[in-house]
Structure 1
Amino acid sequence: MKKGVLLVNLGSPESPTPKDVKPYLDEFLMDKYVIDVPYLLRALLVRGIILRKRPENSAEAYAKIWTDEGSPLIVFSKRMHQKVKNLVEAPVALAMRYGTMTIEKGLQELKDQGVTDVMLLALYPQYAMASTTTIWALADELVASKFPEMKLTKVPAFYNKPDYIQAQANSIKKHLEGFDYDHLLFSYHGIPKRHIRKTDVTKSHCKINGTCCDIASPAHEFCYRHQCFETTKQVVKLLGIPEGKYSQTFQSRLAGDKWLTPYTDVEINKMPEKGITKLAVVTPAFVADCLETLEEIAMRAKEEFEEHGGKEFLAIPCMNDEDEWCEVVANWIKEFEK
């Protein structure tokens, strides 16, 4: 069997226009792993309500971060992909869960190179239904229907792998140099609380009560909340940041549902009155900068922080195509090649 690798990230619209943003959002929000309600209700919610106004608003946000090369997420992912390819022998393809860079195209690219054993790496450090599960599920469907000669080897969430933690810590340390911060905020993408309970393999452990994430359980293998806390804990330990000088929040939520708390925007806006006027924010749920890191945090959160009395705001970039991060991924691939 010839081995190959498929790297998969979220995806992006083709352009920052409502015309291209709308079909992208439709594909994304109609995913049953993202909005996990019955199809007819999901269609009513997405196509009857959300897609009436959100494409225009999202297009405006995308336009703020768009580069001459295109979507930052795609640009950084392609750069990282090229660096990783140069470090390994196995064929490596890049795909996106949504948009035109499909997983099917990625698998076909590997098939054309004779690959039959595929290492599937979802580029999300922490496991979640709306990210990891949907990639795995679609890849399984495609292999069963169109690539039956292929075998998938799915890489588990790497939130606590020592080499990932070291690379993340080193990246943060590098960007913090020269910035005398009062507080370091770890902001993770939010998910509905029901997703935590749905992925609880024990069906009883995840209470989201402030203590369950600290009690050892098989549920932690698929618990996004626990994995976020664990990433923060391990990175903070390596950086030597004392208690009280860091915290963790969750960003990006839809109204009308109970999402993981505390909320990033709410907490950031309260910080200046607590004496935190120099704030650094890192987003370890992402490995490549995207709308949520560049527009929501580096622009919108910064503006609101300053409006509430904040003086200095540093949005720490994702690892993107940093050499150490690319080498970490390459080393995982080399282990797979053995």
Structure 2
Amino acid sequence: MSNNNNASGNAFGVLLVNLGTPDEASPAAVKRFLSEFLHDPRVVDMSRWLWCPILHGAILPIRSPKVAKLYQSVWMEEGSPLLVYSRRQQQQLAALLDVPVELGMTYGNPSIRSGLDRLKQQGCKKVLVLPLYPQYSRTTTAAVFDKVAKVLKSQPEIPELRFVNQYYDHPAYISALAASVTDYWQVHGQPDYLLCSYHGIPKRYADLGDPYPEHCHGTTALLAEKLAMPREQMSMSYQSIFGREEWLKPYTEQTIADLAKKGVKRLDVMCPAFSVDCLETLEEIAEQCRETFLEAGGESFHLIPCLNDNPAHIELMAALVRQHSQGW
């Protein structure tokens, strides 16, 4: 695709976007990150005059030191797992496509603004925004759109934009997920049960029209079909529940405990909504949920890694770029 960088300065570039991560595993850095994240009305839509005192008076002071310790337990030599794997994705996709590919995070660094600026410096008059969320949600994908629009709002000339809304049912995505499972099983053997755990959202958001649960169910059904997995040996649940209101159910931790109590001895869990391993997979699932499963009577618990920089995942991203940049 290298011929896109033509002499007329009409090049197109790709902005990969993920949620973001603290700059370091310290309470201060975590507090900065959580403050930006939890201030977004797409994430918490409570009235600001009610929410901000709760956020700054209770949540940030109490949660930041606790979450910093959790980050410390998964931090890699090169930095936060989410950023390390995202950088690898960016570099490998750029090499495969031979077009400018930059990385931006909805919250924290590198910012969406810096990613768009770098594409502009490389002469990109057209930008394909690829949020790395297979299943659309207002809390993730729409938040990326908002941030891109906010950045461009103050600029005299904006690039021609295209935006990938979702790819939950893309054949290359389902194939990459299925291959990651079968590859894992070839090495570690098969479980009694496979659970797909997705990041949760408040049930109210779905009731108001967020299609996220339908997308999650769609991915799970297509994956079960691809794996030829009986549905009595495979299901889905929602993790990372926050606050007091009802979220999408069933909840992952309760589901895992129930499976152990029903006699499942070996449980494998995968997280299809996460494009890279991060705090929610490496600590919440691999540590907290493992403990829950073993305490409830289970014997063996495995986290199947996210797609990360797996070649099939990079090929999926390339397929999405080719599909959505047609005519450019």
TM-score when scaled to structure 1? 0.91
The residue aligned with 1:228 is 216
TM-aligned CA deviation for residue 131 of structure 1: 0.5
Is 1:195 equivalent to 2:205 in the alignment?
yes
Is 1:12 equivalent to 2:38 in the alignment?
no
The residue aligned with 1:146 is 155
SS of 1:90 mapped into structure 2: coil
Q: Which amino acid aligns with 1:255?
A: G
The residue aligned with 2:255 is 267
Give the counterpart of 1:313 among 289, 301, 307.
301
Q: Does the aligned pair in 1 maintain the 2:224–2:231 contact within 8 Å?
A: no
SS of 1:16 mapped into structure 2: coil
The residue aligned with 1:31 is 40
Is 1:179 equivalent to 2:189 in the alignment?
yes
Structure 1 CA distance, aligned partners of 2:235 and 2:321? 33
Identity %: 39
Structure 1 CA distance, aligned partners of 2:296 and 2:241? 21
Structure 1 CA distance, aligned partners of 2:182 and 2:225? 12
TM-aligned CA deviation for residue 251 of structure 1: 0.4
Deviations 1:247-274 (A, max 9, x none): 1100011131110001000111122220
Deviations 1:308-333 (A, max 9, x none): 11111010100000001101111222
Q: Does the aligned pair in 1 maintain the 2:12–2:125 contact within 8 Å?
A: yes
| Unpaired stretches in structure 1, ≥5 consecutive residues | 201-221
The residue aligned with 2:5 is none
Closer, same or farther: CA 17–147 of 1 in aligned 2, 3 Å: farther
Closer, same or farther: CA 93–337 of 1 in aligned 2, 3 Å: farther
Is 1:96 equivalent to 2:105 in the alignment?
yes
Q: Which amino acid aligns with 1:191?
A: I
The residue aligned with 2:316 is 328
SS of 1:156 mapped into structure 2: coil
Structure 1 CA distance, aligned partners of 2:245 and 2:107? 24
Is 1:67 equivalent to 2:76 in the alignment?
yes
Deviations 1:184-234 (A, max 9, x none): 001000000111133x2xxxxxxxxxxxxxxxxxxxxx5000000000000
Q: Does the aligned pair in 2 maintain the 1:250–1:264 contact within 8 Å?
A: yes
The residue aligned with 2:292 is 304
Deviations 1:109-161 (A, max 9, x none): 00001111110000000011111011011101212222633122011200011
Q: Which amino acid aligns with 1:139?
A: V
Q: Which amino acid aligns with 1:135?
A: V
Structure 1 CA distance, aligned partners of 2:52 and 2:67? 19
Give the counterpart of 2:234 among 246, 249, 262.
246
Is 1:162 equivalent to 2:171 in the alignment?
yes
What aligned pairs does 1:258-297 form with structure 2 within 5 A after superposition? Answer: 258-297=246-285
Q: Does the aligned pair in 2 maintain the 1:3–1:337 contact within 8 Å?
A: no
Structure 2 CA distance, aligned partners of 1:140 and 1:176? 43
Q: Which runs of 4+ in 1 moved over 4 A?
A: none
The residue aligned with 2:6 is none
Structure 1 CA distance, aligned partners of 2:47 and 2:125? 35
Q: Does the aligned pair in 1 maintain the 2:197–2:270 contact within 8 Å?
A: yes
Range with bigger deviation, 92-101 or 139-148:
139-148
Q: Across the two proteins, how many residue pairs are aligned to each other? A: 316
The residue aligned with 2:7 is none
TM-aligned CA deviation for residue 100 of structure 1: 2.1
Q: Which amino acid aligns with 2:19?
A: L
Q: Which amino acid aligns with 1:26?
A: S
Structure 1 CA distance, aligned partners of 2:81 and 2:19? 12
The residue aligned with 2:4 is none
Q: CA RMSD in A?
A: 1.2
Is 1:130 equivalent to 2:118 in the alignment?
no
TM-aligned CA deviation for residue 88 of structure 1: 0.8
